[in-house]
Amino acid sequence: MNDVTTPKRDKTAQGFTLIELMIAIAIVGVLAAIAVPQFSSYLARARVSEAINYAQSCKTGFIEFYATRGTFPTSVAEAGCTTITTDNIASVSVTGGSSPSIVVTLANAAPLPTAIRGHRITLQPMGANSALATQGQNILDWRCSTRPSGTGTATTDALDLVSTACKQAPLGS
């Protein structure tokens, strides 16, 4: 008769040990601990970018009004902007006169981070010598700034959420 023997299993081919699984879970945990705060920061900056991008889109209408009429627009309608409110944007305003600007006020509630809630993103037209543009001057550039509603300066935490171009103080107001 034939002796049929069952093959013996090698002890090294039995799967993962408990320690190997624990090490894998620890590695995933460390990666998650690094990734979650980074993603939260990215999401917060993206929310603030919505307001900055909206203000940037109003520049075209602002410049067109100024070029055709020779005076700065004094309202959102004159500047050709639409008045919108979103989870991130509370209001939009346009001012003319001696301190022309496009102002987007951020919402004062979640989902925006507490540090930036209620802040204003302000775009101001710049004329010659890096000064605020006045009637009759060419608009050569734009100044973007961030500050809390009312008076005061933006905190470091708030400035961390805006692009580098918007980390300066507004002029004339």
Is position 90 within any domain? yes
Q: Are 166 and 158 in contact (CB under 8 A)?
A: no
Residue 4 confidence (pLDDT)? 64
Bridge partner list, 92: 104
Domain annotation covers residue 44: yes
Does residue 69 fall inside a structural domain?
yes
Q: What is the pLDDT of residues 19-28, one digit of tens each?
A: 999 999 999 9
In a domain, 135, yes or no: yes
Highest mean pLDDT among 21-25, 96-100, 115-119, 139-143: 21-25
Query: In which band, very low, low, confident or very high, does the pLDDT at 6 lie, cut at 50, 70 and 90?
Result: low
d(CA 89, CA 104): 7
**pLDDT digit string, tens, across residues 34-85:** 998 888 888 888 888 888 888 888 888 999 999 999 899 999 999 988 888 8
Helix (H, G, I), strand (E, B) or coil at 121: strand
**16 is a domain residue:** no
**pLDDT of 173 over the 60 cut:** no
* pLDDT band of 8, cuts 50, 70, 90: low
Residue 75 domain flag: yes
Alpha carbon distance 173, 157 (integer Å): 22
Cα angle at 113 between 108 and 114, to 5 degrees? 60
Degrees, nearest 5: CA angle 159-56-37: 35
Residue 172 belongs to some domain of the structure: no
Structural domain harbouring 53: 25-166
Q: Does residue 127 lie in a domain region?
A: yes
Would you state the pLDDT for residue 163? 79
Number of domains in the chain: 1
Which CATH number belongs to the domain containing residue 35 in this structure?
3.30.700.10
Which residues are bridge partners to 4 per DSSP? none
HSE-CB of 32 using CA atoms within 13 angstroms: 6
Give the three-class secondary structure for 168. strand
Residues 131-166 have pLDDT tens digits of 888 888 888 888 888 888 777 777 777 888 887 777
